[in-house]
């Protein structure tokens, strides 16, 4: 299965002793090609019981947008918030935002970048 990495959300905890969370979004090349793209999401986190854990799931574009919107919206209401979120896209420069400073306008801009990344037809030309 061929994939193209489109996006990574790197969430840095306030506590430097906890490994950061990562959400990686890749477009899956489907054979035969279907009309609706499929996206693979890999989420890596640290749990108190199991240590480092990675989960993988697949979404269509609509459900992936809902999933990513929920992450971005939750940043402002988390009781134990992350310190920083880094948004790395295959079509934009990488941006870092202090979670405590995120306004709704900034979150909307982040989502615009995220959704544009998901809609891109990007191909990696060099390693």
Query: Could you state, in chain order, the average pLDDT of each consecutive group of 10 residues for the chain (127 residues)?
Result: 87 88 89 75 88 93 94 89 93 94 92 92 75
CB atoms < 10 A from the CB of 44, how many? 15
pTM: 0.88
Segment (H or E) for 9: strand 3-12
């Amino acid at each position: 299965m061929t994939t193209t990495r489109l996006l990574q959300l790197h969430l840095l905890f306030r506590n430097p002793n906890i490994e950061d969370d990562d959400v990686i979004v890749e477009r899956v090349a489907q054979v035969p090609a279907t009309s609706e793209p499929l996206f693979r999401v890999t989420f890596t986190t640290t749990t108190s019981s199991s240590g480092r854990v990675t989960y993988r799931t697949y979404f269509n574009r609509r459900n992936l947008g809902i999933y990513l919107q929920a992450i971005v919206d939750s940043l402002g209401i988390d009781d134990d918030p992350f310190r920083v979120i880094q948004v790395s896209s295959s079509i934009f420069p990488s941006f870092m935002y202090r979670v405590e400073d995120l306004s709704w306008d900034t979150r909307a801009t982040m989502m615009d970048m995220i959704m544009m990344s998901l809609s891109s037809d990007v191909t990696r030309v060099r390693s």
